[in-house]
Amino acid sequence: MATSEPAYEIKEPWTSELVQKRIQELGDWFHNMNLGGVTTAPNHFLGDYPRVKWSRFSVAIPEDLRGKTVLDIGCNAGFYALEMKKRGADRVLGIDSSDHYLQQAKFASEVTGLKIELANLSVYDVADLGEKFDLVLFLGVLYHLRHPLLALDLLRRHVVKDQLIVQSMLRGNCEVEPIEPDYPFEETGIFERSGFPQMYFIEKQYSHDPTNWWIPNRACLEAMLRSAGFDIVAHPEPEVFVTKVSRKEPEVPAEERVEVASCGQGNNRND
């Protein structure tokens, strides 16, 4: 059973009884949060998640976010968005394509008195926001996308002003081999090396979840981030990478840059 420290005080007129009742009404929760002594997902298969994950990389984010704007992509029930507000961020916007999770996040915000903005929006449509944020969180989303590199390109172009924090499930070897600028056509051995960038495609399901599509190894995720125009500045936790926008524009052919710039017009939604 997952246990959680009493991280969030509840505000009047909420009581523990009312909180418990509303948690049950909002259905299954993926984020386990302690709301005034009531936990939202006490039987989470990953334990006290995502707090146990957060505890391993929270030091990589400034304790004082006053004056900063934050975008939480795939915010789920709002755990990370609330943590950013606790650190004093002037504005926190959480987006998700699930109304179910957004209702949970709205409830958590109301109960705790931590004011966050919420919107139903796909990562593929972030251009619609029309602004860039000081800090962008992209946690637990990449492997749920059918087009993960496109998503990173869109983030770089449209919403990341300075810093992007990425967390992704990783599989395969954690070694990272140096990558040469080019390889001859006859070179095939590199594809057998465990430290070469690899992405595993899940045709059906992984961990009983049909939305797990692409799972990279560490070398692949690092390469994708560099390719999209991000410099990795810290790696505080095995699955977490702290990045900053590179001073160099990503080396993407002109015709593909046009496609990236216009992709936000679609109606795709990430699961």
- What 3 state SS string does 1-63 have? CCCCCCCECCCCCCCHHHHHHHHHHCCCCCCCCEECCEECCCCCCCCCCCHHHHHHHHHHCCC
User: How far apart (Å, rounded) are the C-alpha atoms in residues 13 and 76?
Assistant: 25
First to last CA, the chain: 27
User: How far apart (Å, rounded) are the C-alpha atoms in residues 106 and 94?
Assistant: 10
Domain membership of residue 255 (yes or no) is: yes
Domain membership of residue 3 (yes or no) is: no
Domain membership of residue 175 (yes or no) is: yes
pLDDT in tens, 231-253: 999 999 999 999 999 988 776 65
User: How far apart (Å, rounded) are the C-alpha atoms in residues 57 and 236?
Assistant: 5
Mean pLDDT of the chain: 91
**Position 214: which residue type?**
W
- pTM of the complete model: 0.90
Domain membership of residue 78 (yes or no) is: no
Q: Which portions of the chain are predicted below pLDDT 50?
A: 4, 254-255, 258, 261-271
Q: What is the DSSP string of 75-107?
A: -TTSHHHHHHHHTT-SEEEEEES-HHHHHHHHH
φ and ψ of 142, to 5 deg = -50, -45
Relative orientation angle of helices 16-25 and 99-112, to the nearest 10 degrees:
170
Look at residues 137, 103, 139, 140 and name the one whose alpha carbon lies nearest to residue 118: 103
Domain that residue 204 falls in: 122-265
Look at residues 116, 87, 82 and name the one whose alpha carbon lies nearest to residue 9: 82
Domain membership of residue 135 (yes or no) is: yes
User: How far apart (Å, rounded) are the C-alpha atoms in residues 92 and 65?
Assistant: 10
Look at residues 207, 217, 102 and name the one whose alpha carbon lies nearest to residue 168: 217
Query: What is the model's pLDDT at position 263?
Result: 47
DSSP letter at 260 equals H
Strand, coil or helix: 212: coil
DSSP letter at 250 equals P
Query: What is the model's pLDDT at position 6?
Result: 53
Domain membership of residue 143 (yes or no) is: yes
Query: What is the model's pLDDT at position 250?
Result: 72
Domain membership of residue 166 (yes or no) is: yes
Q: What is the domain count for the chain?
A: 1
Domain membership of residue 152 (yes or no) is: yes
